[in-house]
């Protein structure tokens, strides 16, 4: 990949990270909201919070992946599969810019997870 496309990618990743951080802020704001005195209302709120918390964890996991991808760009390791060391298909990166595995390794992992 060229330096120019690395810069474009970096900008794209930073933008995505900013969006996710904004989402996390909204999520934690929701979680901090006071509980209703009414116990039925409170049960509903706790349930909502669990959903909200799961969304928060998802956003945090995505932010971690983006940070790792940004670091790989800095180290010049971006676009190289962390499993097998072969270049990751550029079409895959276009769809999934913070991919750290080539499609073969990712599919292998998925099959391994599915068997568990």
User: Residues 24 to 83: which contact Zn ion by CB under 5 A?
Assistant: 81, 83
Residues 75-104 that bind Zn ion (CB under 5 A): 81, 83-84, 102
92 and 85 in contact (C-beta within 8 Å)?
A: no
Nearer to Zn ion, 73 or 103 (CB): 103
> Hey, which residues does 87 pair with through a beta bridge?
80
The residue among 39 and 75 lying less far from Zn ion, judged by its C-beta, is: 75
Distances (CA, A) of 111 to 18, 72, 90, 96: 32, 26, 23, 19
Judged by beta carbon, residue 20 or residue 82, the one nearer Zn ion is 82
Q: How many residues bind Zn ion (CB under 5 A)?
A: 5
The rounded distance, in Å, linking the Cα atoms of 92 and 103 is 7
Q: What residues make contact with Zn ion under the rule CB under 5 A?
A: 81, 83-84, 102, 105
């Amino acid at each position: 990949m060229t330096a120019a496309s690395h810069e474009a990618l970096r900008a794209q990743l930073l933008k995505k990270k900013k969006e996710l951080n904004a989402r996390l802020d909204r999520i934690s704001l929701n979680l901090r909201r006071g509980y209703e005195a009414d116990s039925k209302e409170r049960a509903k709120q706790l349930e909502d919070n669990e959903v909200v918390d799961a969304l928060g964890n998802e956003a945090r996991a995505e932010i971690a992946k983006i940070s790792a991808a940004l670091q790989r760009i800095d180290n010049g390791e971006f676009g190289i599969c962390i499993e097998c060391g072969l270049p990751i298909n550029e079409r895959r990166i276009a769809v999934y810019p913070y991919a750290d595995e080539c499609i073969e390794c990712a599919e292998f992992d998925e099959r391994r997870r599915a068997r568990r």
